[in-house]
Copies of this chain bind each other. A is one copy, B any other.
């Protein structure tokens, strides 16, 4: 069966789609790729990854450890401008502020903690973690480039985002009511994940609220991600879960495991939603 990727004219590597070009000190330009969008708007984690490239470029450390993003205005596809400023350069970590704007309009404001992740480290204590689902990548269903609400999601023709069969009732109009999506993600051309692309992964799933009630756009207002380890090669296992819909806002958490079964990233977000 042909997948969405087979019929998409251009499948762009994630590293290319999030590349930044340095200009004056502390400034960069990037291009929001028209294929890395949902209903014409770029994915929030995708934008955060481009900002992280700018942050790491100015910082004296290499790995994003924590990222907090507030989304002010959704840029359209095309050129965006980035500014990055080191707030503090410490011995083992540094803090960076970075902003994305388009034609003078601030779009995303971010704070980063940048440090070093040890590829050889093992967790000291992990008994508080949720259990990873045990289903297989090959059995999961890749999401198509149009969602059940009829929205064009060309980004699904880029990354391979798959939902476990038992977590996909909402795709057939039968949400489970649990508010939880379980599945997988792989980058185009099998590009290996790294701390920067993990910032995209944690926001790559559809809203977990689709498993409660289908809606249109669920715009991210705030997204905070912690990168816990360098991921091993291979697709990532993910769980996205909603807790509370109140006053037209929903919070969601995301857990990300690598092929070793290690939690490599986690995130929380607050999003707007037209329910209630």
Contacts and interface: CB of A to CB of B under 8 A. Distances in A.
A66 B228 CA distance: 23
Contacts of A180: 128
Interface string A99-140: 000000010010101000110011111111100000000000
Given A66-B222, A124-B275, A243 B129 contact: yes
A127 B221 contact: no
A229 B247 CA distance: 8
Contact of A222 (B70, B117, B127, B226): B226
Contacts of A109: 87, 95, 97, 111
A238 interface: no
A232 interface: no
Contact of A270 (B66, B123, B242): B66
A227 to B, nearest CB: 10
A212 interface: yes
Nearest to A221: B113
A65 B249 CA distance: 10
Nearest to A130: B243
Contacts of A229: 246-247
Interface of A is mostly: strand
Interface string A63-90: 0011010101100000000000001100
Interface string A194-228: 00000000000000010011000000011010101
Interface residues of A, number: 54
A246 B124 contact: yes
A113 B68 CA distance: 12
Nearest to A262: B246
A241 interface: yes
Interface string A51-68: 000000000000001101
A68 B129 CA distance: 23
28 contacts: A66-B70, A72-B95, A87-B106, A111-B111, A117-B247, A121-B247, A121-B276, A122-B246, A123-B245, A124-B245, A124-B246, A125-B179, A125-B213, A125-B244, A125-B245, A125-B275, A125-B276, A126-B245, A127-B177, A128-B243, A128-B244, A224-B224, A224-B268, A226-B251, A226-B268, A228-B247, A228-B251, A229-B247
Interface of A: 65-66, 68, 70, 72-73, 87-88, 93, 95, 97, 106, 109, 111, 113, 117-118, 121-129, 177-180, 209, 212-213, 221-222, 224, 226, 228-229, 241-247, 249, 251, 263, 266, 268, 270, 275-276
